[in-house]
Structure 1
Amino acid sequence: MKKLLLLLLFSATAFAQIDRMEPPFWYAGMHNPELQVMFYGKNIAQYTPSVSNNIVIKNVVRTENPNYIFVTIDTKNVAASDLVFSFKDGKNKVAFTKNYSLKKRREGSAQRKSYDSSDMIYLIMPDRFANGNPNNDNDKSMAEKANRSNDGGRHGGDIEGIIKNLDYLQELGVTAVWNTPVCEDNHSRGSYHGYAQTDVYKIDPRYGTNEDYLRLSAELKKRGMKLILDYVTNHWGSEHWMYKDLPTYEWVHQFPGYSQSNYRMTTQFDPNASKIDAVQCEEGWFVESMPDLNQSNPLVLNYLTQNAIWWIEYADLDGFRVDTYSYNDKAGIAKWTKAITDEYPYFNIAGEVWMHDQAQMAYWQKDSKVAAIQSYNSYLPTVMDFTLHDAISSVFNEDKAGWDSGMQKVYDNFANDFLYPNINNILVFAENHDTGRFNEIYKGDFNKYKMAMALVATVRGIPQLYYGSEIGMAGDKGKGDGDIRRDFPGGWAGDSNNAFTKAGRTADQQKFFDYTSKLFTWRKNKEVIHTGKTTHYVPQDNVYVYFRYNDKDIVMVVFNDSAEARTFKTARFGESLKGRVSGKDIMTGKTVNVAEEMTVAPKSALILELN
């Protein structure tokens, strides 16, 4: 009997196989030469690994789960080559092997230029943009199938749909594309948004393949455009293969099991916060279907860091946007961010810090003097200007000026710019995939849309446009997230009109498109807008005036947010006009006299290149 048991034990271990190996391959010549490869297979931890080519194993980590082993190797001075990992049993015999590749990096990979204030970012929800390949709408390995009648379901948009409409984006003035996550999200419902990923090394097959994503990157670069990956460090989906067999109990935050975040991000830096509240914010789960990752665990942090770097190298990425940045473990997310920017010094990362106070948002930007009070540095290059978004969401309905209403709200937002260490690295936007739709809030008012776009296009920072805004798309957040993420008209065969083409747009859609395209095409080559300084003037009668300037150019921007035409003297702007008496309206090409007084139409914006 004892002999039989030993034989069975030997059989179970001798034929152990590697079900997963991550990263699936790596690159030679990285700034950080240490590579941690995770091997997953039945009882794999009982084997002893070694590597060919005289590669040094620096560390082997086994956890309480015998199905995992983490092997760290030193790739310093190792050329691109094929390696072999061997796994020996207790008798020092090789039980099985696994091939591994170190690939050659692209020329200049480490010095890649990222997106910056010269760009205009276009935010796309791939499932709702365009269905370029109906054959991948459903996949037998994926739980949720396409159903366009379900607002919260899969609709079939994909990577091919984006590729087929890149000419449209280029005509619009887009220079960078940010897609919401495209990695596998295999849940039975709500999987279209992609924020509950179930395999972070694999593109969701309903969007296409890894190779399709690489092709999107290449097609963008042919047009001088950039690709931004939406990266999620805070959580995965509950159907993630690893969550179903955790490497270690501490891979996710447990209470034990699930406990929801209190969402009070101020507890991350509030000196008066209770420990229990701080823990509940950072360690609590975003929702029950999204297990909260524990970035304070070195294995987790290294896994996320290498995965992010792998995608940069593999897909030739130009930047990240990071979801729910300020919910992460503070120390862990700073290490993650620094590790990436150490590898790529010019790589930009925009973190979602959804807060409503400039000091609190500035806390999270790299080299923040606010955070330095607590000896903290996130190393995050870019934060999102949610306070400006808040103002944009109401200000154009406030016809009358007040102490803190009307255009004074916008002025007050920029009055706090001193808090940010890099004011050009601020993402500015009127809406995104989580907020109310601008054209719903303002009932499709074209004049108010023009004012919002003129603001986003001419202030400091990096402008971001949400798909469909440029054709007047609306959507009621009160009806659920699905309604603010409607299908782009013309993205599906049989749509009543095709807004991707001039011939297919309605008159209203064309009106919105023409203004947006002309505005952002003008912005492309305006260094004075990209990196110029700002002088603004306290609003009077709900008229707000600011100047963007450098040594060569001056741009004057005027907003009349009142319901009546306003005439005003220009003498108070003398320090910015610098003797100039006229300017060209960038939208009409007409010359506007600014010598003594100006008259501006109600609910309008005027952008003047001063002569």
Structure 2
Amino acid sequence: MKKTILLLLLSISAFAQIDKMEPPFWYAGMHNPELQIMFYGKNIAQYEASVSNNVVIKNVVKTENPNYIFITIDTKNLPASDFVFSFKNKNKVAFTKNYSLKQRRANSAERKSFDSSDMMYLIMPDRFANGNPNNDSNSATTEKANRNSPGGRHGGDIEGIIKNLDYLSELGVTALWSTPLCEDNDKGYSYHGYGQSDVYKIDPRYGTNEEYLKLSSELKKRGMKLIKDYVTNHWGAQHWMYKDLPTYDWVHQFPGFSQSNYRMATQFDPNASAIDTKNCVDGWFVPSMPDLNQSNPLVLNYLTQNAIWWIEYADLDGYRVDTYSYNDKVGIAKWTKAITDEYPYFNIVGEVWMNDQAQMAYWQKDSKIAAIQSYNSHLPSVMDFTLHSAFGNAFNEDKDSWNDGMIKFYDNFTNDFLYPNINNILTFVENHDTGRFNQNHKNDIKKYTMAMAMLATVRGIPQLYYGSEIGMAGDKGKGDADIRQDFPGGWTGDKNNAFTKSGRTEEQNKFFDVTSKLFQWRKNKNVVHFGKTTHYIPQENVYVYFRYDDKETVMVVINNSAEAKTIKTNRFQENIKAFKSGKDVLSGKSVDVSNEISLEGKSVLVLELK
């Protein structure tokens, strides 16, 4: 009896030795056969590891922290199977740990991703819909739900997203981008998710890993795609690894915290000082977000494997990468290439928040600008922040000038030649970090319609921010919480339910109907997805451009003047050619284009030429 108890106690002690094992499992048949597994436990580095089933250990790394051991194995030609790691002390097995290689989905490596045929919808899950009130607070996380606090947790979750997928489908959405859903255990303002504390675990206030997988599956049933928001630049200060760093240089130390100067141009400025470059790249985004050191091979491999694990586990269709251009540029290029080597058709869009097209284009894969410095980010897509800037101002400028009004859009598109792949950039009117369009334009449905018509018809991948389609506003000047308000109808007891036509107000339906009509139409318009563009210098604040291919031609006419305008069409003859009329997508009316076109003030025509 005593012997049995002793063996039981030894067994309990043995299993308690490993607190974390990451990745928790892996997949057979990956392009890169090398897998580095991190084992974490009290003084685990004192043990020597071996593995069963003739699995080859290629490398073992022990760091200055004895609580970590990194073991690299060769998975080449290994079938989906289980094997056992044994940890020995003085040639005696002290404890063991099972590990699994799982079967991949069919054609996993060839998975298709989002592209310019999609319309991407961005949500902040905490503010979208509360599908399960029972998970609003959790004993394992610090911040509890408080919907009365603008910057607090409000209770939106994965179940709330799933319950409203039909609404998104009706709107014309084909891809869903959610801000991070992994655990963020900050004491406050944790709802945005960018200060992650465990990157292998969905935050319990959003749901579970299994529910995230269900979201992916439910989207695919509707022909929609799931885009995960990935953060390579930083974690949150509550991340369990930050509290017990594997190596001193796992994060950038000064020692401790030093603020980034945010001057991303130092990444390629030939005249930049070394200290300015270091302070941009190595400086922390904010004090609560330790800056990860991607030049440390252990860090880089950890981030790479985590990203690949989520693709396989959750059957992801793409990544949006936060603060892409703040990363170590060599490290982030390796991270990106490793993912696209595994998945050749996988799209990744990086947040490169700059106000110059050459500087943004530098970060797109195969950039000729970056090639001058022998650099290639391997990043397929970037976000069009200069176009966003034009959306922010132009429609409030009734009078045109050399620099004001629709010329802002024209000037933006004149620099399209800078991008290696102009179709594969993300276009947007607003997102979760910017001012709300409807706030800046006083919920003017005419201005909103012009903006949506452009977003639906210009080159690139259009992205819509949740709530815009029902006229949601919010003042950035009052803080981020005001531009991240709760979607009406997402919570029991809300005054109205904007997820349904009958629940929306008359004004909300006006915004929704315009948005839905444009993006439902866009779904099947190859000419808009991949066609060529010809545009004409705006005159009297009227901007005309064409999207065309061998089969179709779409003419877009935007009158940004407050006054009605009549334009002669002979100027556009090279695109109008023999076409006599066009059907307006929004009104359904036929418009004669043979001689002249008349438009009301602040209006737009999207014409399918016949």
Common topology (TM > 0.5): yes
Structure 1 stretches of 5 or more lacking a match?
1-9
**SS of the residue aligned with 2:432?**
coil
C-alpha spacing 1:183/1:498, structure 2 compared with 1 (3 Å): same
Question: What is the Cα deviation at residue 568 of structure 1?
Answer: 1.4
Question: What is the Cα deviation at residue 369 of structure 1?
Answer: 0.5
Question: What is the Cα deviation at residue 16 of structure 1?
Answer: 6.4
- 1:36 aligned to 2:61? no
- 1:183 aligned to 2:182? yes
Quote the residue 2:65 is aligned against: 65
C-alpha spacing 1:92/1:411, structure 2 compared with 1 (3 Å): same
Q: Is the 8 A contact 2:180 2:230 kept in 1?
A: yes
Quote the residue 1:241 is aligned against: 240
Looking at structure 2, the residues matched to 388 and 555 of structure 1 have their Cα atoms a distance apart, in angstroms, of 21
Quote the residue 2:17 is aligned against: 17
Q: Is the 8 A contact 2:11 2:95 kept in 1?
A: no
- 1:160 aligned to 2:159? yes
**SS of the residue aligned with 2:396?**
coil
Quote the residue 1:82 is aligned against: 82
Question: What is the Cα deviation at residue 581 of structure 1?
Answer: 1.5
Quote the residue 1:260 is aligned against: 259
Question: What is the Cα deviation at residue 579 of structure 1?
Answer: 1.8
**SS of the residue aligned with 1:396?**
helix
Looking at structure 1, the residues matched to 52 and 564 of structure 2 have their Cα atoms a distance apart, in angstroms, of 77
State the AA in 1 paired with 2:53: N
- 1:363 aligned to 2:367? no
- 1:451 aligned to 2:457? no
Question: What is the Cα deviation at residue 297 of structure 1?
Answer: 0.3
Q: What is the percentage of aligned positions where both structures have the same residue? A: 79
State the AA in 2 paired with 1:63: T
Quote the residue 1:490 is aligned against: 489
State the Cα deviation string for residues 199-257 of structure 1 (Å, max 9, x = none).
00000000000000000000000000000000000000000000000000010000000
Q: Is the 8 A contact 1:183 1:202 kept in 2?
A: yes
State the Cα deviation string for residues 104-126 of structure 1 (Å, max 9, x = none).
00000000000000000000000
State the AA in 2 paired with 1:468: G
TM-score by length of structure 2 reads: 0.98
For 1:184-583, list aligned pairs within 5 A.
184-583=183-582
Looking at structure 2, the residues matched to 439 and 332 of structure 1 have their Cα atoms a distance apart, in angstroms, of 39
**SS of the residue aligned with 1:538?**
strand
State the Cα deviation string for residues 12-46 of structure 1 (Å, max 9, x = none).
99786000000000000000000000000000001
Q: Is the 8 A contact 1:476 1:483 kept in 2?
A: yes
Q: Is the 8 A contact 2:62 2:69 kept in 1?
A: yes
Looking at structure 1, the residues matched to 600 and 299 of structure 2 have their Cα atoms a distance apart, in angstroms, of 57
Q: Is the 8 A contact 2:364 2:419 kept in 1?
A: yes
Quote the residue 1:112 is aligned against: 111
Looking at structure 2, the residues matched to 240 and 340 of structure 1 have their Cα atoms a distance apart, in angstroms, of 24
Looking at structure 2, the residues matched to 363 and 406 of structure 1 have their Cα atoms a distance apart, in angstroms, of 28
- 1:121 aligned to 2:120? yes
Looking at structure 1, the residues matched to 600 and 339 of structure 2 have their Cα atoms a distance apart, in angstroms, of 48
- 1:56 aligned to 2:56? yes
**Off by >6 Å, runs of 4+ in structure 1:** 10-16
**SS of the residue aligned with 1:24?**
coil
State the AA in 2 paired with 1:86: S
C-alpha spacing 1:474/1:48, structure 2 compared with 1 (3 Å): same
Looking at structure 2, the residues matched to 243 and 518 of structure 1 have their Cα atoms a distance apart, in angstroms, of 48
State the Cα deviation string for residues 57-105 of structure 1 (Å, max 9, x = none).
000000000000000000000000001011111x211111000000000
Looking at structure 2, the residues matched to 531 and 377 of structure 1 have their Cα atoms a distance apart, in angstroms, of 24
**SS of the residue aligned with 1:513?**
helix
State the AA in 1 paired with 2:312: E
Looking at structure 1, the residues matched to 193 and 134 of structure 2 have their Cα atoms a distance apart, in angstroms, of 20
Looking at structure 1, the residues matched to 401 and 281 of structure 2 have their Cα atoms a distance apart, in angstroms, of 38
Q: Is the 8 A contact 2:581 2:609 kept in 1?
A: yes
Looking at structure 1, the residues matched to 497 and 228 of structure 2 have their Cα atoms a distance apart, in angstroms, of 27
Structure 2 stretches of 5 or more lacking a match?
1-9
The CA RMSD measured in Å over matched residues stands at 1.2
Question: What is the Cα deviation at residue 405 of structure 1?
Answer: 1.1
**SS of the residue aligned with 1:424?**
helix
Quote the residue 1:143 is aligned against: 142
Looking at structure 2, the residues matched to 133 and 329 of structure 1 have their Cα atoms a distance apart, in angstroms, of 40
Q: Is the 8 A contact 1:16 1:43 kept in 2?
A: no
Looking at structure 1, the residues matched to 251 and 42 of structure 2 have their Cα atoms a distance apart, in angstroms, of 21
